[in-house]
Chains A and B, each alone.
Chain A
Amino acid sequence: MAATYEPIATTTLTGTQANIEFTSISGAYTDFILTGTVVRTAGSDIEFVLGNGSYDTGSNYSLTYLYGTGSAAGSGRGINATKGNAGYASSTNPMSLTIQAQNYSNTSTYKTLLVRNSPASGDVSAIVNLWRSTSAINQIKLTPNSGSFGAGTSLTLYGIKAA
């Protein structure tokens, strides 16, 4: 029986990295989940860009976010952004991160990505990102907007088949 939930690729950092990319993502799955533990060298947002063959750095991203800081809760939106957002953490403690993209390989609709970000210091958040492109996603690049990914960062990309 074909596996439904399969690891596509995984990485665990032994040193710092400015960004982490998953490229040549197979279109054989229905959805993908990118998940794991992120360690940062400084408090920062994690941002990402998507693409098919090349990264889209145009103003084609928008997002809605719900967050809690530990003392305040809030929500907001971003439009015509040049990157997607995968949440903020203020400390360098490990943070669990999940980015989920349903129907990522279709070429008919824009792409929605659901992010859950759980830093115990910084903003616990749920974010919906929209990439206004009908291209299939076959690459994703994540970058902290301050500092770098630290050693111990461990991310795995899983593909999920609908049948």
Chain B
Amino acid sequence: MATTYEIINKTTLGSDAAYIEFTSIPDTYKDVILVGSTRTTKTSINDEAELKLNGTAITGIRLFGTGAGVACDTIPIMLPTGANATSNTFDNFTIYIPNYASTTQYKSVSIDQTGENNGTTAYAVFIAGLYSSNTAVSTIRLTSLTGSYVTNSSFYLYGIKNS
């Protein structure tokens, strides 16, 4: 039986990178999911990171908790762990894009991200995103908006089949 949940590609950074990009994503799966664990060089508890699909930033809603409160806005920017968080601590995230290869509808994006920090502030984030294009997603880019992703940040792209 064909494997349902397959690794398409993966990487663990050996040096800092401002952004990472998966290109030439095959259209042979039903859904894709990008999971990873990151930290950046921004001198703060958290950085901000932008997701672009086929070169276009997603739009959407963000719900997040800080440990002291909860907020919601229309800025679908992720909050990766920054350089001032507890050392050796990386966040984790999943970016789920069902029906990513559809050529007849826009693509909904579901992002869950949590960081941790042995302090008063840490972030848990839910994002509902939208890629407003009928083009199949063939490129996924994650960009640190202030610094760079550091060594040992990891990114795993899986394809999920439905038969």
Contacts and interface: CB of A to CB of B under 8 A. Distances in A.
B130 interface: yes
A93 B72 contact: no
B99 A71 contact: no
A64 interface: no
B102 interface: yes
Given A10-B163, A96-B108, A120-B128, 5 more contacts: A7-B162, A66-B126, A116-B112, A152-B104, A152-B105
B71 interface: yes
Contacts of B96: 35, 96, 98
Contact of B107 (A35, A94, A116): A94
B108 A93 contact: yes
Contacts of A10: 30, 162-163
Which of A4, A94, A98 counts the most B-chain CB atoms under 10 A from its CB? A94
Interface residues of A, number: 39
Interface in A61-102: 66-73, 75, 93-96, 98
B133 to A, nearest CB: 12
A120 B163 contact: no
A36 B4 contact: no
Contacts of B31: 35-36
Contacts of B106: 93-94
A48 interface: no
A123 B61 CA distance: 8
Interface in A106-134: 116-126
Interface residues of B, number: 41
A79 B28 CA distance: 43
A5 interface: yes
A118 B74 contact: no
A94 B99 contact: yes
Contact of A96 (B1, B4, B98, B104): B98
A124 to B, nearest CB: 4
B36 interface: no
B115 to A, nearest CB: 17
B134 to A, nearest CB: 10
B108 A118 contact: yes
Given A37-B98, A66-B63, A72 B108 contact: no
Contacts of B107: 37, 94
A118 to B, nearest CB: 4
Nearest to B99: A37
21 contacts: A5-B4, A36-B31, A36-B98, A66-B63, A68-B63, A69-B72, A71-B72, A73-B72, A93-B132, A94-B99, A94-B105, A95-B108, A96-B110, A96-B128, A120-B59, A120-B61, A120-B128, A154-B98, A154-B99, A156-B30, A156-B162
